[in-house]
Structures are given as C-alpha cells and as structure tokens.
Amino acid sequence: MRGLMLTLAATLSISGAWGAEGEPSIDLALVLAVDISQSMEPDEQDLQRQGYVEAFRSPDVQRAIRQGLLGRIAVTYVEWSGAEEQQILVPWTVIEQPADALGFAERLARIPIHRAGYTSISGAIDFSLGLLRESGFDSTRRVVDISGDGPNNQGRSVTAARDEAVSQGTTINGLPIMLEQPRGPWDIPDLDLYYRDCVIGGAGAFMIPIRERHQFLDAIRTKIVREVSDRRMPETFVRRALVDTPADCSAGGTHSRRPAGE
C-alpha cells in the first residue's frame, strides 16, 4: 500500500496538486469509513451506498469543494467490519472540478456491496489514521467519517483509538444508523449517545443520527457539505442524542476488547 501512496503523491506533485513549500496542497483529507458488518441489513447498505454516491453527484457538495481556500479535497472510501477487516473501495482521489466528483461517484456506484463479520469501530479508526499518515497529502484538515449501526464489539477500546486519532489532529465525525430496534446482545438502544460520547472527537466533531430510511440521502449529503466547508449545519441536521446521560463506552459485550481471531 505504501508504494501505491508514494506513486500517488508523485503523480499529484507532477500534476500541480501540491502547493508551494509550507502551503497545504488540499483543504481536506477525508476518509469515508463505512460499516458492512452482518448487523447491517442489505437494504440499509444499499441506502448507505446510494447516499454517498448521490452526495458526490450533488451540486451542493461540488460547490462546497470549489469554495474552499484551495478549492480541492482528497477523499477515499473504505468498508470495514471486524478488527482486521478493512478494504479500500476507492483509493485517494483529488476532487477539484465537478467532473472529479462525478468520477468518484461513478466508480463507487459500480463496486458490489459486501457484508462481513464483527463491528470494530476502533479497527476502522486505526486503519483510517494509517491511510491519512501515508497519504502523502499536506492538508489543512484531516477527517475520518465513521458510519455504523452498532457499538464496538471487537478489537481494542474505541475510546483509545479515538483519543489517539484526536491527539494527532484528526477529527472523527459520526453517522449512527438507528433504523432497527436492538435485537442481540451487542446492540444498544441509544447508539447516538454512544457515538457522541465514545466515537466522535476533535475540532468541530459532530454526528447525524439516522432513524428513518428516507433520511439517508439528505443526511449524508449535508454531512459531507459540513465536512468540506467546515461550517455549522442547520439545527435540523445537527441532532442531539435523545437522552443526556453519559454512554457506556464498553457497550458491545465482552468482545469489545477481544483480539481478532479469538
């Protein structure tokens, strides 16, 4: 992977995507980290994927990118489940013109959707942080965007992964998916509270809970506009958790700290 990243960096340097020495080359390096664990129903996965595809087709997202200080971002799309189960679906892509965003969307739309095992949010954060470190980009901001429908139930503590990322200047935003009632021992009723207290962090961190299927398209588009522009969102989209007591960050059962393969 490191060889791929170095090749990408060299290509971008030649193409002029890098600024002068000491200047950021992009406004934002964004990792879209998407849950494909078994708890995600096929229709949820379809809606989630379509939400990201339509977001990059949207003039709102394309306009937000162009209005940045440099007018370009870099984005990669990752699917994750267990502690050792992460896959890059679309590698780092510089988006500057509407055609770049449309190309990213079309590439993502053509890739089949998969399902896998456990839910390791900590593994997704760690993997995303590695991608940011090795990207070769000099960015003003670094964001990991985590979407999922359950708490961490494999790998190391989610708060340890979050705190390490935040200490390195990375912001983690969240998209907790709450379409179904808790059905198993690893499900929790207030996933929005869990994401608020245990997952998101860093400068300007936010989350948007999804409680109805019709919210996917608008919520994902608005979330990406917010991440690209680094501006406050309308109150209708910045939803607070329904309860205001601290979440149990060890929720998810005994598997929350179980190493992969055990």
pLDDT tens-digit profile, the chain (262 residues): 434 343 344 334 333 444 445 445 999 999 999 999 888 888 889 999 999 999 999 999 999 999 999 999 999 999 999 999 999 999 999 999 999 999 999 999 999 988 888 899 999 999 999 999 999 999 999 999 999 999 998 999 999 999 999 999 999 999 999 987 766 656 788 899 999 999 999 999 999 999 999 999 999 999 999 999 986 544 434 444 444 567 788 866 544 333 333 3
Work out whether strand 86-95 and strand 73-80 pair parallel, antiparallel, or are unpaired.
antiparallel
Residue 171 contacts residue 143 (beta carbons within 8 Å): yes
Domains of the chain from N-terminus onward: 26-246 (3.40.50.410)
Half-sphere exposure of residue 15, counting CA atoms within 13 Å on the CB side?
Answer: 12
Residue 214 is classified by DSSP as G
Best CA proximity match to 253, nearest among 160, 187, 171? 187
Best CA proximity match to 91, nearest among 79, 82, 102, 99? 79
pLDDT at residue 53, rounded to an integer: 98
DSSP-assigned states of every residue in 94-150: EE-SHHHHHHHHHHHHTSPP--BS---HHHHHHHHHHHHHHS---EEEEEEEEEESS
Residue 37 contacts residue 116 (beta carbons within 8 Å): yes
What is the C-alpha end-to-end distance of the chain, expressed in Å? Answer: 27
* pTM over the 0.85 mark: no
Q: Residue 246 corresponds to which tokens in the numbers above?
A: 């601290």
Alpha helices, H only, the chain: 2-15, 42-57, 59-66, 98-109, 121-134, 158-167, 191-194, 216-229
The rounded Cα 151 to chain-centroid distance in angstroms is: 15
Q: Residue type for 130, please?
A: G
**204 exposure class (CB count in 10 Å sphere: 0-12, 13-18, 19+):** middle
